[in-house]
Amino acid sequence: MVEVCRVSTLFAVIFTLSGIAATAEPDVHALYERECAVCHGDTRLGGTGPALIPETLGRMRGPKLTQVIAEGRAATQMPAFADILAQEEIETLAAYLNTPLAEVPEWGEAQINATREMTPGYTPADAPVFTADPLNITLVVETGDHHVSVLDGDSFDVLDRFATPFAVHGGPKFSPDGRFVFIMSRDGWVQKYDIWSLAEVGRVRAGLNSRNIAISHDGKWLAVANYLPMTLTILSADDLSVAKVMPVFSISGIKSRVSAVYQAPQRQSFILALKDVPEVWEVATDPDAEPVYEGFVHSREKGMIEALPSSEGLFARRRIELSEPIDDFFFSDDYRNLIGATRDTERGVVVNLNVGREIAELPLPGMPHLGSGISWDRDGRRVMATPHLKEGKLSVIDTEDWQVISTIETDGPGFFLRSHENSPYFWADVFFGPNRDVMHVIDKQSLKIVRTLRPVPGATVAHVEFTRDGSRALVSVWEDEGAVIVYDARTLEEITRLPMRKPSGKYNVFNKITFSEGTSH
């Protein structure tokens, strides 16, 4: 977790001309600099934490902001400040964060293209420069020093270790042939790396504060979901130049951040959820896509809206209105249904993307983390499982009738689930609380915990990735002087430990490009 500098409180004491102390007001700039800037940036435009300006505070505005500063935010790295700051300081800070910046930098096509840096002298190799199986390469994101290690998935040798932009978040996305990978950092940089050549191709800053990226089914386009500015940036995957910057706003014109964007391969589109307004968008990535009509939506309030055809098939947009905004979501295997949830409520919704409306509701208390969901077959039915970020429980849901069929009790709230087609188990970490050093291994049929691993007592263990054949499971010891531990995925015996700097996510090329059922999207 982020180290937050907590030094004693400093008050700016203001004296009247007569020399009598009239009032003592917190110096809000010093306060911000001391307590917030390390994560949210000196300019309030975001760093490892999100931007803190009125435009991006969204649902956090008002009294909720003081509450979040005082109590922290579940399932994020935002700590509680109630023991460190006086109530007056918290209120002063909240008021400051609600004050607009004198100027928010413009971040459109010209600014983005101006940041594009292609590696001088980069020449793509004709074949992999290593003898390892290129589809069994696993990338390990090391957040301790902002690097990625390129692992041979058979020998576990490190073939390369390269620097990434600051604070990589979310899964890197691979080209459909597995040759190139695209990595995004929270400050909006997108990096392209050539796995065959073991070389960076280039990078570009697609947003100021970004959420995640998706690659299109044909590998031609990258979509970058931004918090700031409130846009979806579409880049050419070839040379990282801007193809389009789409401003994101509701049907009634309210601007919104993007919760996340994913590729829907069967639909040849990107699907994104808007964070501040109740809408899901589908953006066509097929140049021959049926024309989509701008505004051809069934509005809950206004009924069917008059349609205006979009000028082109490529990047044509379709809106689906929902009852509530969605923070986190998952798809059925055929991408007909999106299962989404808002972090603050106790329910999830199923949105049928074909008919364009909500079709079912799910009771999902405890802040489900649907982005980490996985699915598999059980008793001839397709089920999915999701961890809860606020409680030690996993929900298992039947995706035919949308019933929660089991709630599995764990040793604490977890972040990630992972499995593989060839494994009888799925693995669930405990990320928060006193048992954050355990990893549960759960039988996919009986839904019983078969083993609880505690490889390094006291050290956080989290996130699992499998090798291409599913025979090995790689677990992160999420500490600065951490490790990736390789297990035999059947016997659950440890095979080897690879020292790593705070390893977070791990991504196997084959599992990601084949959309293995055990990985998140």
Residues interacting with ligand DHE, by CB under 6 A?
75-77, 143, 169-171, 211-212, 260, 371, 415-416, 463, 504-505, 520
Q: Which is nearer to ligand DHE, 168 or 297 (CB)?
A: 168
Rounded to a whole number of angstroms, the minimum distance from the CB of residue 206 to ligand DHE is 14
Q: Which is nearer to ligand DHE, 211 or 267 (CB)?
A: 211
| Alpha helix ranges (H) inside 126-263 | none
261: left (phi over 0), alpha (psi -120 to 50) or beta: beta
Rounded to a whole number of angstroms, the minimum distance from the CB of residue 159 to ligand DHE is 21
Q: Which is nearer to ligand DHE, 169 or 318 (CB)?
A: 169
Six token digits for residue 318: 């379709």
Q: Which is nearer to ligand DHE, 56 or 310 (CB)?
A: 56
Count CA atoms within 13 Å of residue 386 on its CB side: 28
Q: Which is nearer to ligand DHE, 272 or 396 (CB)?
A: 272
SS3 sequence of 370-399: HHHCEEEEECCEEEEEEEECCCCEEEEEEC
* CA–CA separation, 284 and 208 (whole Å): 25
Sole residue written with tokens 């505690």: 454
Q: Which is nearer to ligand DHE, 292 or 509 (CB)?
A: 509
Rounded to a whole number of angstroms, the minimum distance from the CB of residue 77 to ligand DHE is 5
Six token digits for residue 47: 């760093």
SS3 sequence of 71-124: HCCCCCCCCCCCCCCCHHHHHHHHHHHCCCCCCCCCCCHHHHHHHCEECCCCCC
Rounded to a whole number of angstroms, the minimum distance from the CB of residue 62 to ligand DHE is 20
Rounded to a whole number of angstroms, the minimum distance from the CB of residue 311 to ligand DHE is 29
Beta carbons of 224 and 203 less than 8 angstroms apart? no
Q: Which residues, at least 6 apart from 41, have a Cβ–Cβ distance to it below 8 Å? A: 47, 51
Across-strand partners of 192?
Answer: 182, 202
Q: Which is nearer to ligand DHE, 240 or 462 (CB)?
A: 462
Q: Which is nearer to ligand DHE, 399 or 476 (CB)?
A: 476
Rounded to a whole number of angstroms, the minimum distance from the CB of residue 40 to ligand DHE is 11
Tell me, rounded to whole angstroms, the distance of Cα 192 from its chain centroid.
18
Which residue type is seen at 427? Answer: W
Six token digits for residue 341: 């949830």
Nearest one of 455, 343, 459, 463 to 414, comparing CA atoms: 463
Rounded to a whole number of angstroms, the minimum distance from the CB of residue 261 to ligand DHE is 8
- The counts of H helices and E strands in the chain are 7, 39
Rounded to a whole number of angstroms, the minimum distance from the CB of residue 231 to ligand DHE is 17
Q: Which is nearer to ligand DHE, 41 or 505 (CB)?
A: 505
Rounded to a whole number of angstroms, the minimum distance from the CB of residue 127 to ligand DHE is 28
